[in-house]
């Protein structure tokens, strides 16, 4: 037998435990729900593995969760005969807390103690709520199929011990050495307290939660009648504390709002109420029951690679698998829930699921139901939908690029910022507001809404009264490539290619004007192009600028400046590209530069002007200039000349 080893928790764990203990003082009873939920998960895993390996069950085939109380020793134990843990799994699961974001969790909990419960749920540290009521936690466990058992112990002081121990049966026993209850605390050794907590939080757990109950009874005779004068005797019986009826198999009318909420917290380990409940009882050719939830808050790991589907699959009430990716597409991974069907093979494997026709039909129906629910929310409760969009809009938009079949349904749910109003708008609302002469849906993508609103690329559109959508989420530049048109209207970036905002008559007049200006500015355009050689693809007169002197425009099929910045930030390779520098011939600066070039030729000062124009265009598109030092030096020299009152080219002329 191995010696006892003392090991340290990860950095900041003691601080984390202190925060949990002191921040959740008004919700201490939650600890029992978390321990029961963990025990239920362990039984689920064993049940699934036993489908292909019956030896794991052995003679112990009655799966259940047992609660034991010792009032004298003030201990409470939650015991399961589930999958158990190896030594390595103990260290992995209990030696590290919120391993993807411990530091972030600690900081968030410090700043937001009043919402500690929702943070606990986001970071998945429910087991450690035990330390709210226990001065010491002892866990013994034996993995199914193993002949070794281990004991884990901690007082929450920043360290824990592990040693090999004797345990005859598989499964896990968590024993809490309870603190003495305060004036406002419940006594968790009392039968009625435990009954109430189990009924409140865990009545729907599909395994029996049992406890030995001691009663005093009057002895009875052979006919079952009480024996007169006999003294009461103590009798201990094992009672089941929960109903065990799977909530998803009930009809909607049979389930209360509180039951829906508690089941969500059971499967998601989220401590906040869900935003929306979707309950399906499908009958007919394809029969299945589904209970899905839209959370109220996005988990902290929503965009992390290890984030998985939140759906569980059952077949005839038998747990098959967690994180079932075959039931919903990745862009709906925020949905939590359960699907149970009698039409799927009980011995189904993940590989078989990918090709199962019935699973495919269920998936299609689930996706449609989610879309119907979100559409109804958008139409009937805009405030609630805005809350959903704030948390999960970025994820939903991924479907535009990955799910061609449902692209239109997803597009109907998209919300966008716009130049026309402060409130977010749908694409349908935008199309309804389009003037008759507007041919395309115009948009501009970038990192910041206010910066986009002041972009020079919008000037001609503002003048025409054309509304432009503003896409500011990091995923927008990628997903928008999957949405070529909406309601027969093509989507067009105002920062790419040519713009066509004019009527035929206006176009003819503009072409004549540009031809004349082109002759006047041709020499200056050639000079600027030569000065900026290798940095711009072309220099041309602009039809989109009305106030600013210059802007940079990407080719119709090239990466935008915003997309280039995103790729660089992610350390991804960026294909070499050069944008077009458009100049505004009506701007006073360009007119003066033309006169300087005409009267003085290619001066050093004019070259500096050209360099500054390019850097200005780079900055207004939201990018960084290649050399901030040179930019500052050029700007300083011009400021010094202006401050010294040196004659300008206009005065000299």
Name the nearest CA neighbour of 494 among 582, 376, 426. Answer: 582
* Same-domain pairing of 510 and 488: no
* Same-domain pairing of 255 and 377: yes
* Same-domain pairing of 129 and 203: yes
Residue 114 pLDDT > 50, yes or no? no
Residue 544: which CATH number? 1.20.120.790
pLDDT of residue 295: 94
* Same-domain pairing of 184 and 310: no
Written as six digits, the tokens of 550 are 């210059």
Is there a domain that residue 428 lies in? yes
pLDDT of residue 652: 43
* Same-domain pairing of 579 and 544: yes
- Cα angle at 575 between 573 and 576, to 5 degrees? 125
Residues 6+ apart with CB under 8 A from 543: 460, 498, 499, 501, 510, 514
pLDDT of residue 446: 86
* Same-domain pairing of 38 and 133: yes
Residue 373: which CATH number? 3.30.230.80
- List, for residues 319-341, the tens digit of each pLDDT value: 777 888 889 999 999 999 999 98
* Same-domain pairing of 351 and 448: no
Is there a domain that residue 409 lies in? no
Residues 6+ apart with CB under 8 A from 544: 456, 457, 459, 460, 461, 494, 499, 551, 553, 582
Q: Which of 252-256, 506-510, 619-623, 639-643 has the highest mean pLDDT?
A: 252-256
* Same-domain pairing of 435 and 558: no
Q: Who has greater pLDDT, 221 or 95?
A: 221
Residues 6+ apart with CB under 8 A from 434: 441, 467, 489
Is there a domain that residue 498 lies in? no
Residue 405 CA to residue 43 CA, distance in Å, equals: 38
* Same-domain pairing of 170 and 29: yes
Residue 520 CA to residue 217 CA, distance in Å, equals: 110
Q: How far is CA 280 from CA 194, 313, 640, in A?
A: 32, 14, 74
What is the average pLDDT score of the chain? Answer: 85
Q: Who has greater pLDDT, 418 or 93?
A: 418
* Same-domain pairing of 632 and 534: yes
Residue 506 pLDDT > 80, yes or no? no
Q: Among residues 449, 468, 493, which one ends one of the domains?
A: 493
Mean pLDDT of all residues in 246-264: 91
Residue 480: which CATH number? 3.40.50.11260
Instruction: Sort 595 into a burial class: Cβ within 10 Å, 0-12 / 13-18 / 19+.
Output: middle
430: containing domain: 414-493
pTM over 0.75: no
Number of domains in the chain: 4
Question: What DSSP string describes 506-534?
Answer: HHHHHHHHHHHHHHHHHHHHHHHHHHTTT
Is 143 in contact with 85 (CB distance < 8 Å)? yes
Is there a domain that residue 393 lies in? no
Is there a domain that residue 226 lies in? no
Is there a domain that residue 391 lies in? no
pLDDT of residue 535: 92
Is there a domain that residue 225 lies in? no
Helix axes 588-600, 604-620, angle to 10 degrees: 160
Residue 563 CA to residue 545 CA, distance in Å, equals: 22
pLDDT of residue 33: 84
Is there a domain that residue 399 lies in? no
* Same-domain pairing of 96 and 204: yes
* Same-domain pairing of 19 and 35: yes
Q: Among residues 427, 460, 493, which one ends one of the domains?
A: 493
């Amino acid at each position: 037998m191995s010696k006892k080893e003392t090991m340290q928790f990860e950095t900041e764990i003691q601080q984390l435990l202190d925060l949990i203990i002191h921040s959740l003082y008004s919700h201490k009873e939650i600890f029992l729900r978390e321990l029961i939920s963990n025990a239920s998960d362990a039984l689920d895993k064993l049940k699934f593995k036993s489908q292909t390996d019956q030896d794991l069950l052995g003679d112990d085939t009655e799966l259940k969760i047992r609660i034991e109380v010792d009032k004298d020793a003030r201990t409470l134990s939650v015991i399961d005969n589930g999958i158990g843990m190896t030594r390595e799994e103990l260290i992995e699961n209990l030696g590290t807390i919120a391993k993807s974001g411990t530091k972030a969790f600690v900081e968030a909990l410090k700043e937001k103690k009043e919402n500690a419960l929702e943070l606990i749920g986001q970071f998945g540290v429910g087991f450690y709520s035990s330390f709210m009521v226990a001065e010491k936690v002892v866990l013994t466990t034996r993995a199914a199929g193993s002949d070794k058992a281990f004991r884990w112990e901690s007082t929450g002081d920043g360290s824990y011990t592990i040693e090999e121990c004797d345990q005859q049966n598989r499964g896990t026993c968590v024993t809490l050495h309870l603190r003495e209850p305060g004036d406002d605390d419940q006594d968790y050794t009392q039968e009625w307290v435990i009954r109430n907590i189990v009924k409140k939080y865990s009545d729907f757990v599909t395994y029996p939660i049992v406890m030995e109950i001691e009663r005093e009874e009057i002895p009875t005779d052979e006919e079952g009648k009480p024996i007169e004068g006999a003294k009461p005797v103590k009798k201990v019986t094992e009672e089941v504390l929960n109903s065990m009826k799977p909530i998803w198999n009930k009809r909607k009318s049979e389930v209360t709002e509180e039951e829906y909420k508690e089941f969500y917290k059971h499967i998601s380990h989220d401590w906040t109420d869900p935003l929306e409940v979707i309950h399906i009882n499908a009958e007919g050719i394809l029969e299945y029951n589904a209970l899905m939830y839209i959370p109220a808050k996005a988990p902290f790991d929503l965009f992390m690679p290890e984030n998985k589907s939140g759906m569980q699959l059952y077949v005839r009430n038998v747990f098959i698998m967690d994180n079932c990716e075959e039931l919903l597409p990745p862009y709906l991974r925020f949905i939590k829930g359960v699907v149970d069907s009698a039409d799927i093979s009980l011995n189904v494997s993940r590989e078989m699921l990918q090709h199962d026709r019935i699973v495919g039909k269920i998936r299609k129906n689930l996706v449609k139901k989610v879309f119907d629910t979100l559409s109804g929310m958008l139409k009937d409760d805009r405030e609630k939908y805005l809350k959903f969009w704030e948390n999960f809009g970025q994820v939903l938009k991924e479907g535009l690029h990955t799910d061609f079949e449902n692209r239109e349904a997803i597009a109907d749910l998209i919300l966008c910022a716009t130049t026309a109003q402060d409130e977010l708008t749908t694409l349908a609302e935008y199309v309804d507001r389009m003037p008759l002469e507007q041919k395309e849906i115009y948009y501009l993508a970038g990192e910041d809404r206010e910066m986009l609103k002041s972009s020079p690329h919008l000037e001609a559109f503002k003048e025409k009264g054309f509304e432009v959508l503003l896409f500011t989420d990091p995923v927008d530049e990628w997903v928008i490539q999957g949405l070529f048109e909406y309601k027969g209207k093509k989507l067009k970036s105002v920062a790419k290619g040519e713009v066509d905002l004019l009527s035929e008559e206006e176009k003819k007049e503009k072409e004549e004007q540009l031809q004349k200006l082109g002759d006047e500015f041709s020499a200056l355009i050639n000079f600027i192009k030569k000065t900026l050689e290798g940095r711009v693809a072309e220099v041309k007169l602009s039809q989109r600028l009305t106030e600013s002197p210059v802007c940079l425009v990407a080719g119709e099929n090239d990466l935008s400046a915003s997309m280039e910045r995103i790729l660089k930030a992610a350390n991804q390779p960026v294909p070499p590209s050069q944008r077009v520098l458009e100049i505004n011939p009506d701007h006073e600066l360009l007119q003066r530069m033309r006169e300087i070039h005409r009267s003085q030729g290619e001066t050093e000062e004019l070259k500096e002007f050209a360099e500054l124009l390019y850097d200005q265009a780079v900055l207004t598109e939201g990018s960084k200039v290649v050399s901030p030092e040179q930019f500052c030096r050029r700007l300083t020299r011009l400021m010094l000349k202006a401050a010294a009152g040196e004659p300008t080219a206009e005065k000299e002329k």
